[in-house]
Chain A
Amino acid sequence: EIVLTQSPGTLSLSPGERATLSCRASQTVDSRFLGWYQQKPGQAPSLLIFGTSNRATGIPDRFSGSGSGTDFTLSISRLEPEDFAVYYCQQYGSLPRTFGQGTKLEIK
Chain B
Amino acid sequence: QITLKESGPTLVKPTQTLTLTCTFSGFSLSTSGVNVGWIRQPPGKALEWLALIYWDDDKSYSPSLERRLTITKDTSKNQVVLTFTNMDPVDTATYYCVHSTWSSAFGYWGQGTLVTVSS
A88/B47 in contact, CB under 8 A? yes
**Chain B residues, CB < 8 A from A50:** 104-105, 107
Q: How many residues on A have C-beta within 8 angstroms of the other chain's C-beta atoms?
A: 24
Task: Give Cα A45–Cα B48 distance, bound, in whole angstroms.
Answer: 12
Main secondary structure of the interface of B (DSSP, over half): loop
A44/B109 in contact, CB under 8 A? yes
Interface residues on B, range: 20 to 34
B107/A45 in contact, CB under 8 A? no
Task: Give Cα A45–Cα B97 distance, bound, in whole angstroms.
Answer: 11
With A88-B46, A97-B37, A102-B46 known, 14 other A-B pairs at CB within 8 A are A37-B47, A37-B106, A44-B96, A50-B107, A88-B47, A90-B47, A90-B106, A92-B103, A96-B61, A96-B63, A98-B49, A99-B47, A99-B49, A101-B46
Task: List the interface of chain B (C-beta within 8 A of A).
Answer: 37, 46-49, 52, 60-63, 96, 100, 103-107, 109-112
